[in-house]
Amino acid sequence: MSEVRVTPWKDGDEAPEDLLDAMRARRPNGELIGIDRVLLKSFPLATGWNELLRRVRADFSLELEYRELIMLRVAVLNEAAFEWGVHYPAYLAAGGTEQKAAAVKSVEVSRGLFNEQEEALIQLADQSTKRVAVDAAVVEKVKRLFGEVKAVEAVATVAAYNMVSRFLVALSI
């Protein structure tokens, strides 16, 4: 992306120390990244955002590899390059493959490479991201494959990372 559209928070700028500590705790080596520095323009936003995304990333029972696959697909569909850059290595670290990551970049994903669970999650991410409405059959398939708790978490992951990507793209992060 081009120049960030707001002035990011800089080290030394005012911010609640507990908020900075919580944000740094979510990041490798405790280093704040671009989105963190823009979120810090609004402390209430940064606080809520950090807690929501921390829970999606760390507390859900849906396997991390599947959550990261969803995040990558949403990043592709919303053309959120920053999001891709953050989640591509996380996907690989969670057990995803370079071949699957490359395949998820296509407008129409070649389904033969993915297992039934991954295909269902890609279909969920595609429908929810592209048109918001998700076919009942897709939700039923995700529930059948994962159970209701993980199905709710899959839908929430799609929704949360649509929020993330739309924020990133709108502000050129």
User: Which fold, 64-170?
Assistant: AhpD-like (1.20.1290)
pLDDT digits (tens, 9 = 90+) for 131-172: 999 999 999 999 999 999 999 999 999 999 999 999 999 999
Give residue limits of the domains in the chain. 17-58, 64-170
What is the reported pTM?
A: 0.95
pLDDT digits (tens, 9 = 90+) for 98-127: 999 999 999 888 878 999 999 999 999 999
Q: Residue 106 corresponds to which amino acid? A: S
List Cβ<8 Å contacts ≥24 apart for 7-10: 7/41, 8/34, 8/37, 8/38, 8/40, 8/41, 9/36, 9/37, 9/38, 9/40, 9/41, 10/37
Residue in 22, 20, 4, 2 with CA at minimum distance from that of residue 12 = 20
